[in-house]
Amino acid sequence: MNETYLYVVGGAFLLAFVFGAVGNKTDFCTMGAVSDWVNMGDTSRLRMWLLAIAVAILGSSALHLAGVIDLSKSIYPGPNFTWLSYLVGGFLFGVGMTLGSGCGSKTLIRVGTGNLKSLVVYIFLGIAAYMTLRGLLGAFRVGVLEKATITLPQGQDLPALLSLNRAILAALIGGGLLAYIYSSKQFRSTFDYTLGGVVTGLVVVGGWYVSGHVGHVAEDPNTLQEAFVATNTGRMESFSFVAPFAFTLE
């Protein structure tokens, strides 16, 4: 177990290092992708962001279909569709990253380059996230936001919701995104856009592999139950925006 723990943590660190280096070089940023499109009509960074999504969808679906990982064992496809939490959380995240001059990943990259404003953003983002997970705001989240829930018997992942084969759905969504992304001559002419999108998508796929395959223990010797080593949820995880800030501060 200790050896597996080191492999998972080491793999996560290596993937994060690669993402940070490439993200810094290519200026990959969720807010930047949206603001360039809205303010200047430039969709290049938006296409880079969508390319990351396409690669992540195709790569993670391939791992799932090959039996390397089981995506149903992550926290995301659960049956409780907490729609109000998604709306409120998404709105606050959008406002917050605008005020903070970037999304969570961009904040981390800027902290690494010595930006003190981003260090302040990082600390307060982590505090607010921890309060929402387990502190003062957690009571409001559980008692109010998560009360607005729709229970979906088949789960809330798209293959279950649409009753479609995962491979077909991944090919349709991923292929459609790739066709749109590379329809832009400006995007095709700048290698950094492809580099940022492909590497970010592969980092997400790598996160699923490290936590869902390398860190998977069929039977924990202590509990005699299936376990995923070195994850905060106790299930397989990949990279996300906010909760890791809280756990890092902890």
Q: Please report the pLDDT score of residue 224 as a whole number.
A: 80
> Which residues fall within 8 angstroms of residue 91, CB to CB, at 6 or more apart?
none
What backbone phi and psi angles, to 5 degrees, belong to 150?
Answer: -110, 125
Alpha helices in the chain (DSSP H): 2-26, 30-35, 44-65, 83-99, 104-112, 116-134, 136-143, 158-162, 166-181, 185-189, 191-209, 243-249
What is the overall mean pLDDT for the chain? Answer: 93
CA dihedral 207, 211, 212, 213 (to 10 degrees): 100
- What distance in Å separates the CA atoms of residue 11 and residue 215, rounded to the nearest whole number? 10
Average pLDDT over residues 92-98: 92
Q: How many domains does the chain have?
A: 1
Q: Does position 241 have pLDDT exceeding 70, yes or no?
A: yes
The CA-CA-CA angle for residues 89, 82, 154, to 5°, reads 140
Q: Please report the pLDDT score of residue 7 as a whole number.
A: 95
Domain region containing 245? 2-249
The answer to whether 248 touches 127, Cβ cutoff 8 Å, is no
> Which residues fall within 8 angstroms of residue 64, CB to CB, at 6 or more apart?
70, 71, 166
The CB density around residue 210, as the number of other CB atoms within 10 Å, is: 26
Residue 48 tokens, joined = 């880079």
By three-state DSSP, how is residue 93 classified? helix
Q: Is the pTM of this model over 0.75?
A: yes
- What distance in Å separates the CA atoms of residue 119 and residue 113, rounded to the nearest whole number? 10
Q: How confident is the model over 188-208, as pLDDT tens digits?
A: 999 999 999 999 999 999 999
Q: Please report the pLDDT score of residue 1 as a whole number.
A: 62
Q: Does position 226 have pLDDT exceeding 70, yes or no?
A: yes
Phi-psi bin for 202: left (phi > 0), alpha (psi -120 to 50), beta? alpha
Q: How confident is the model over 146-205, as pLDDT tens digits?
A: 999 999 988 899 998 888 899 999 999 999 999 999 999 999 999 999 999 999 999 999
Average pLDDT over residues 45-59: 97
Average pLDDT over residues 55-83: 95
The answer to whether 30 touches 178, Cβ cutoff 8 Å, is no
Residues composing the chain: 250
